[in-house]
Amino acid sequence: MTFVKITEQTSGYRHLEKMTIQELLFNINKEDRSVPLAVEESIPQIEKLVAAIADKMLAGGRLFYMGAGTSGRLGIVDASECPPTFGVPYGLVIGIIAGGDDAIRKAVEFAEDDREQGWKDLQEFNISDKDVVVGIAASGTTPYVIGALDMCRSKGIITGSISCNPDSPVSAAADFPVEVVVGPEFVTGSTRMKSGTAQKLVLNMISTAVMIQLGRVEDNKMVNMQLSNEKLVDRGVKMLMEKLSLTDYEQAQALLLKAGSVKKAVDDFVKV
């Protein structure tokens, strides 16, 4: 089947520089509304990937995201939010970007073109077949990502991918490919737009669903969240008061701060 790079096709809009600000915003929003529908079409693929990740993590494995540019940054954002949101240790979900940490803030020229470097970066973390590696590439053609996934599969490491072109090379390199075809971008080829939004939505779904499978959420509450600021402490106190039918805010706050999390505070209270 011929690979067509839809993400590089010409925008459906012409002469953007002649549009008013209102027209620009309306048309960008019109395009963005198509993204959730494209994600919905991919749910069966996402489900298979989430199940594979949860199985490995329940057995003690880790989740790695790999990408270049916007895709790499999105993976790092999702990985970095897992510890404060779900109370898991740093290093359980890891984001890796082509070009290293410098590439988080600024582009590193040609970093994504190095097919060998992705596997080298994974080796820094002692990657093994206990882990899962998800490559993120809007175009589906990033050598840095594809090279890493190919090496992972040769070592028996489960792989997934998130791309926005059908039947792409990165999908061929993944055991569990996810393809969210959002169509041409408003600005031709600017995949930080709809493609980036689609990738972020999928990453939200993956990490949240996996963490729920790992028991890091109870009912609909983040009972394991880190108490890293006053807003989260207040949220935790109110959760604790609701769970334990407490009416004294200060008592609940003292219990929470001593335990370090809502879940531990509930367990400690029950033991007493």
**Residues recognised as catalytic:** 81, 112
Beta bridge partners of 65: 95, 134
Angle, helices 69-86 vs 194-213, to 10°: value is 30
Q: How far apart are CA 22 and CA 225, in angstroms?
A: 40
How far CA 93 is from CA of 39, 68, 118, in Å, comes to 22, 17, 17
Contact 135, 144 (CB under 8 A): no
Coil, helix or strand for 272? coil
SS3 102: helix
Burial 93-110 (b: 16+ CB within 10 A, else e): bbbbbbbeeebeeeebee
Distance CA(2)–CA(168), nearest Å, equals: 9
Q: Which residues of 216-254 are buried (b: 16+ CB within 10 A; e: fewer)?
A: bbeeebbbbbbbeeeeeeebbbbbbbebbeeeeeeebbe
**Separation between Cα atoms, residue 166 and residue 38, nearest integer Å:** 12
Tell me if 259 sits within 8 A of 244, measured CB to CB: no
